[in-house]
Amino acid sequence: MLLGLTICDIVLIEQLSLSFSQGLTVLTGETGAGKSILLDSLGLAIGARADSGLVRHGASRGSVTASFDLPATHKARAFLRDQEIGKETDCADEPVILRRVIHADGGSRAYVNDQMISVSMMRKLGDLLVEVHGQHDDRGLLDVSGHRALLDAYGGHEGLREAVASAYDAMKAAKTSLHQAEETLAQAQAGEDYLRHALEELDKLAPEAGEEADLAERRALMMQGERLAGTLGDIQTELEADTGVEAQLRGVLRRLERLEPEVQSLLQPVISALDRAVIEAADGMMALSAVQSELDFDPEQAEQVEERLFALRAAGRKYKCAPDDLPALRMKFAQDVASLDHSSEGIGEKRAALERARTVLAEKIADLHKARKDAAQKLDAAVNSELPPLKLEKARFRTRLEPLAQEHWTRDGGDHVAFEISTNPGAPFGGLIKVASGGELARVILALKVSLASRNSAATLVFDEVDRGIGGATADAVGERLARLAQQAQVLVVTHSPQVAARGDCHLQISKADRDDAQGLVTRTDVARLDQEARQEEIARMLSGAEITDAARAAASSLMKQSA
């Protein structure tokens, strides 16, 4: 709840500190006394738009500080934790203090627990702390975007909402998975012709790891063999010619063998040596022939090796990899083709999963819709029962529950919810702010807030002249409902009705007076907390006008006793 409000140099207020308590606090005063200044000041502290014209004339800046007492479980404390604000003072025993500073030359600053924050963040925090209901308010109950959450809070649909949110997230995940799979398939299909052609080409080539090095070595040996075979062939030709070594040796031996025996006996060592040389020469020529046989160069085989090596290296250049990497690339292409062949089956499974998720979501949304429909009927009955005592007996309230098309479903469900009013029999229903007049609108909001009392979204409620244009029994009905609301939350009301004022647990009187200071004669706004006697005098003034009579005092006393 709101604990205190300190205002410095705002419009006609120079310095003012107010404390507040639970229950119903009424703010009264003559027209023009400055009641709106208090509400504007509170608005600044909870993120309302700042205007440098609000700074008191002659001051360089103005400021407003509002302190709140909040339980540890309050949404505002969770919000501060999420924003990592005020960690050092984040405990249930410490108040949350909002401060707004406005400069006369333009600009403003916002603080929470002395930590600077943005004005937009202050506004979000303020929405969790205070609800301000006035004739021209476009937030709170008049904001259609919040009606669905109010209806769900009234109906206690937390579990159903969580189930819908979970089903919606599952559906979105299934949809994303299908979309990614379809994109992957589309990309694969775009290169399918290339992929299949490449695989066919590599299958035909059938590369093997290490094959390039082996072929290169064989080609080098073949080239060396070709050159060596030519050299050995020339040598063999020379050896086998008529003038060759073996032929000459045999010729010499034949001549020696024709000599006389005595000479042969003398030359026997020579003949033996030459005979051995002939044998060795024959062995050498036989060995040479054997080597030539092994080095037999096959041009056709060499051409095959050359062509194979060229094909491997050309494929490596084409697919931008080393020839030894071609087998692994071929395996990858084969896997990609296999994956492509099975991808359609995977897409079908993901589509089926998405349909199952949509079915579950539709079931959860249907459950929530039914619960909302039941809650809407109960809320309509509750609000409509509150309207006649508020002099709105011809008005009818309804909660319009409109199912949304599937493409508009969200984590909050599949319904558009709007509070509507018809102020006269036969008149069409329409939005609250569009159909009801200022006075009617304030009372409709009061009826709605009373009906939603057990589910208040803020601990402090502010009503600005909810009793405008009414009196007597209707004003008393307004006061009774404000007092009933004050049992559930802290309620502040600016009122001109003595019937409403008489029901207050705390009464603040706002007055305006002229005084002398350094600037001369100036007008200042003051606020006084009234005791029981002063309350009676103020309510008597509200009953009788400028001149307070004894009859008015007696009537005021009677009102206060009736409201006690």
Contacts of residues 252-259 at CB distance under 8 Å and 24 or more positions apart, as own/partner, are 253/278
**Length of the chain in terms of residues written:** 564
pLDDT at 519: 64
Residues 203-208, mean pLDDT to the nearest whole number: 92
Q: Where are the domains of the chain?
A: 1-23+30-134+503-521
pLDDT at 294: 64
Flag whether pLDDT at 537 surpasses 90: yes
Beta carbons within 10 angstroms of residue 56's beta carbon: 20
pLDDT at 408: 95
pLDDT at 138: 47
Residues 6-24, mean pLDDT to the nearest whole number: 93
| Helices 245-257/211-240 angle, 10° precision | 30
Burial of 268 (0-12, 13-18, 19+ CB in 10 A): exposed
Query: Per-residue pLDDT tens for 466-518?
Result: 877 788 888 899 999 999 999 988 999 999 899 999 999 999 999 988 777 76
Pick from 197-201, 259-263, 313-317, 340-344: least confident: 340-344
Q: Is 151 within 8 Å of 375 (Cβ atoms)?
A: yes
Sole residue written with tokens 């004022």: 501
Phi, psi (degrees; rounded to nearest 5) at 320? 55, 50
- Which amino acid makes up residue 296? D
Q: Coil, strand or helix: which one is 416?
A: strand
Q: Is 395 within 8 Å of 448 (Cβ atoms)?
A: no
Average model confidence (pLDDT) across the chain: 86
Spatial distance between the Cα atoms of 120 and 283, rounded to a whole number of angstroms = 109
φ/ψ region of 409 (left if φ > 0, alpha if ψ in -120 to 50, else beta) reads beta
Residues 535-547, mean pLDDT to the nearest whole number: 88
CATH class of 1-23+30-134+503-521: alpha beta
Cα–chain center distance at 288: 87
pLDDT at 28: 92
pTM: 0.67
Residue 53: which residues within 8 A CB-CB, separation 6 or more? none
First to last CA, the chain: 23
What 3 state SS string does 213-272 have?
A: HHHHHHHHHHHHHHHHHHHHHHHHHHHHCCCCHHHHHHHHHHHHHCCCHHHHHHCHHHHH
pLDDT at 435: 67
Please, what's the largest Cα pairwise distance for the chain?
189
Sole residue written with tokens 């600009």: 107
Spatial distance between the Cα atoms of 562 and 227, rounded to a whole number of angstroms = 131
Flag whether pLDDT at 135 surpasses 60: no
- Residue 343 banded pLDDT, cuts 50, 70, 90: low
Residue 234: which residues within 8 A CB-CB, separation 6 or more? none
Spatial distance between the Cα atoms of 384 and 377, rounded to a whole number of angstroms = 11
Beta carbons within 10 angstroms of residue 84's beta carbon: 9
Flag whether pLDDT at 117 surpasses 90: yes
Percent of the chain with pLDDT over 90: 46
Spatial distance between the Cα atoms of 206 and 312, rounded to a whole number of angstroms = 10
Spatial distance between the Cα atoms of 394 and 377, rounded to a whole number of angstroms = 19
Flag whether pLDDT at 281 surpasses 90: no
Q: Coil, strand or helix: which one is 487?
A: coil
Residue ranges of alpha helices (H) inside 268-325 are 268-294, 299-318
Q: Coil, strand or helix: which one is 401?
A: strand
Spatial distance between the Cα atoms of 161 and 361, rounded to a whole number of angstroms = 11
Strand order of the sheet with strand 396-403?
396-403, 415-422, 430-431
pLDDT at 119: 93
- Residue 441 banded pLDDT, cuts 50, 70, 90: confident
Phi, psi (degrees; rounded to nearest 5) at 267? -95, 10
pLDDT at 455: 65
Strand order of the sheet with strand 506-517?
130-133, 460-464, 490-494, 24-28, 506-517, 520-529
Spatial distance between the Cα atoms of 7 and 63, rounded to a whole number of angstroms = 6
Higher pLDDT, 453 or 392: 392
Residue 414: which residues within 8 A CB-CB, separation 6 or more? 365, 368, 369, 403, 404, 406, 408
Query: Per-residue pLDDT tens for 221-268?
Result: 777 766 677 777 777 777 777 677 777 888 888 888 787 787 777 888
Percent of the chain with pLDDT over 70: 92
Beta carbons within 10 angstroms of residue 355's beta carbon: 13
Residue ranges of alpha helices (H) inside 68-129 are 75-82, 119-129
pLDDT at 518: 63
Sole residue written with tokens 């062949």: 341
Q: For residue 280, what are the CA distances in angstroms to 249, 254, 272, 276?
A: 11, 17, 12, 6
Task: Report how many helices (DSSP H) and strands (DSSP E) the chain contains, helices first.
Answer: 18, 15
Burial of 71 (0-12, 13-18, 19+ CB in 10 A): exposed
Q: Is 150 within 8 Å of 455 (Cβ atoms)?
A: yes
